[in-house]
Amino acid sequence: MRLAQFSPLVIAIALSACGGSAEEEATEGDGSVSVEQAQAAASGAIKPTPGQYQTNLELLEFDSAGLPENMKKVARDAVESGFAQGNSFCLTPEEAENGPEQMVKNLAENDCTIRKFDVAGGTVDTDMSCTAPDGSKGDVKMAGTMTATTSEMIMDMDQAVPRLGSVHMKVKVNSRRVGECT
């Protein structure tokens, strides 16, 4: 699981706007939310406005238990440098229409367990655990606010990364519609 895998996820959730809550309906017995429950919550979401979006990421916290202090700074600087680029993308009408439900489907296909999925009332509150193809596991929590054209999220991630050990990152993600697709 890498941050790059979650950036589109954050954007999809952030732009799904004002849906429902699957947490209250969780009946799996293990505290997890079924894919069907998350899709039901996502299906009630207001659809995002198609167009060109700009996303900016800011690293708020970074720690890697497996790195010496001097290497933690190098790793943090590398992550911050990658984030400084920002991300611009075109959200097509089809993606906007299918976004929230497709995002949940993608989570299921990527071996993620959803513990909480609430996209109600202009807020986002999610908690999930995913396993990457290499077997590494990570937890991701997202909380924030959104409209059909903007979002502000805090993404809190903990993951076991080969050669780095346990990695913790907290990232602020802001996304906004900047016009028609270019």
Residue 65: per-residue pLDDT: 86
The mean pLDDT value of the chain amounts to 79
Output the CA torsion 148→153→159→165 (10° steps). 140
CA distances (Å), 48 to each of 54, 103, 129, in order? 14, 13, 25
What's the mean pLDDT in 65-79?
89
List pLDDT tens digits, range 49-71. Answer: 999 999 999 999 999 988 898 88
More confidently predicted of 144 and 26: 144
The model's pTM: 0.76
What's the mean pLDDT in 135-155?
90
Q: Would you say 50 and 181 are in contact if contact means Cβ atoms under 8 Å apart?
A: yes
Give residue for tokens 């997890």. 32
Strands 51-64 and 150-161: unpaired
23-32, 41-50, 168-177 — which is least confidently predicted? 23-32
What's the mean pLDDT in 128-146?
87
Please, what's the b/e burial string for 9-47 (b: 16 or more CB within 10 A of its CB; e: otherwise)? bbbbbbbbbbbbbbbeebeeeeebbbbebbbbbbeebbb
Sheet holding 51-64, edge to edge: 87-91, 51-64, 165-179, 150-161, 137-146, 123-131, 112-118
List pLDDT tens digits, range 30-44. Answer: 668 877 777 777 666
Alpha-carbon radius of gyration of the chain: 16
SS3 47: coil
Cβ atoms within 10 Å, residue 93 = 12
Longest Cα–Cα distance in the chain: 47
